[in-house]
Structure 1
Amino acid sequence: MTGPSAAAPPRGGAIALLCRALMLAGGATLLATALLTVASVLRRWLLGQPIPGDFELVQAGSGLAVFGFLAFGTLRRANILVDTFTGWLPATLCRGIDAFWNLVWAAAAALLAWRMALGALDALRSDTRSMVLSMPLWWAIGLGALALLATALAALRCALRPGEKA
């Protein structure tokens, strides 16, 4: 098989490398939250008490994992496509429509990244912390903003290269 397959990793480039790193970090984070959940349930079962703050760590970890997967999924064009109305159109026109919607997605992700970055700065300035562990929250919000920025870059790359699979 000579062409790119759905299972192939993205080709080189800084955007692809960043998307892949975020995806791997998201997977590791999701695995860590699953292990934390198992440990907390076992501790509750054996000792009658969960790991303190387990739900805070699972909330942050799950959210960061999802953000980590967004950029890679965008780059791989692994989003849900509904082509009921465009399936009969010429391939060139379909690529143009896809490029337009990738530009819209890039703009939306960039806007969300900007607002989350401002939220991270605000959380840092106000020293916003979680309730049980008193864990600072700015870093998690900032990592989410970084992942959304990477998603915007991936969508922009897809818009500029509409026929290419990453």
Structure 2
Amino acid sequence: MHKIMMSLARFMAVLGGIALSALILLTCISIAGRLLNGFFHKDFMQGLLPEFSNWMIEIGVGPVNGDFELVESGVAFAIFAFIPLCQITAGHASVDIFTSTLSARVNRFLRMVTETVFAAVLILIAVKLYDGMASKMRYGETSFLLQFPTWWAYAASLFGAVVSAIVGVYVAAVRIYEFSTGRIVIVDGMEADA
């Protein structure tokens, strides 16, 4: 089961990485287009090469229309796509100044409680994203510039949130097993020191 969940988490991280890379490229193209558009509008270029400058402006050299709408939607998906890998590898930030002095059993108990609460929160987020998506579909809401249905962004985020919830529930079940048996299934920094 652990291999399946790890594969699912890695798959989601790859999807999130692809989405984030595409958004970075989109942002760079949009910024470069905005700078070039301003450059071609300057008096210097209009005086030096007016035909070329006007041609570049006419073919559409400029910022990508609706870039912030795409970035907003894509980043939401990317965040949810990275959560499963972070969850299953115990990669979340932790402050263990206090807990490092506690026994291994107490630390396993704290991890069990934390992971269970986190799984419940991930389930709640997925449910609320579904409610939001259904609402956007019902009212036919679209984005301002690109006019794409906003439920598309909700659906992408919901996909990531559902996978995050599945992995979160698995990790919570593992932590309950670890606490009950004392056997470690998912190694994190606390077990490395023991």
Question: Cα offset for 1:23?
Answer: 0.9
Give a deviation string over 1:125-144, Cα, whole Å, max 9, x none: 21111100001111211221
Q: TM-score, normalised by structure 1?
A: 0.86
Of 91-100 and 128-137, the range deviating more from structure 2 = 91-100
Tell me which residue corresponds to 1:151: 164
3-state SS, counterpart of residue 164 of structure 1: coil
> Could you tell me which residue of structure 2 aligns to residue 42 of structure 1?
32
Q: What is the CA-CA distance between 1:146 and the residue it aligns to? A: 2.3
Q: Is the aligned partner of 1:96 residue 2:87?
A: no
Greater length-normalized contact order (CA 8 Å, ≥ 6 residues apart)? 1
Determine which structure has the larger helix proportion and give its number: 2
Question: Where in structure 1 do 4 or more consecutive aligned residues deviate above 3 Å?
Answer: none
Runs of 5+ unmatched residues, structure 2: 39-61, 176-183, 188-194
Identity over the aligned pairs, expressed in percent? 30
Alignment match, 1:28: 18
1:106 maps to 119
Q: Which whole-Å CA distance do the structure 2 matches of 1:117 and 1:18 have between them?
A: 21
Tell me the matched-pair count. Answer: 156
Secondary structure, in 3 states, of the residue corresponding to 2:34? helix
Rounded to whole Å, the distance in 2 between the matches of 1:18 and 1:129 is 31
Check whether the contact 1:158–1:164 (CA below 8 A) recurs between aligned residues. no
1:126 alignment counterpart: 139
CA distance in 1 between counterparts of 2:149 and 2:8 reads 25
